[in-house]
Amino acid sequence: MERLNSNLYLANCLIEENARLRKKKQLLDQENKALLSQLKQQHQQHVVNSDPRSTNNVDDLALMMTSMTVTSPSSASCPNTSAGPSS
């Protein structure tokens, strides 16, 4: 019976972790779309304002990308179960 409970607990932790990762994926996807939109706007503004003879567009784009930051993920809610259930 204890083994069954351990297996159910492990399955529950995996389900919770999956839900947490799915939510994190959605947030990162939203952030990625917002950053891409911002990058496109900055690039378009740069293209409009730049000298057409300039060839530094790639360098300027890389510089804009390095100025952006990404937030760190939150910690997991379930304890580490990599050792497996006890018998």
Comparison of pLDDT for 55 and 4, the residue scoring more: 4
Comparison of pLDDT for 4 and 75, the residue scoring more: 4
Per-residue model confidence (pLDDT) at position 87: 43
| Domain segments of the chain as ranges | 2-64
Comparison of pLDDT for 15 and 63, the residue scoring more: 15
Per-residue model confidence (pLDDT) at position 38: 96
Per-residue model confidence (pLDDT) at position 48: 86
Per-residue model confidence (pLDDT) at position 29: 98
20-78 pLDDT, tens digit per residue, is 999 999 999 999 999 999 999 999 998 888 766 655 556 666 666 666 655 555 555 56
Q: Which residues contact 86 (CB under 8 A, 6 or more apart)?
A: 2, 6
The C-alpha atoms of residue 73 and residue 28 are separated, in whole angstroms, by 9
User: For residue 9, how many C-alpha atoms fall within 13 Å in the half-sphere facing its CB?
Assistant: 14
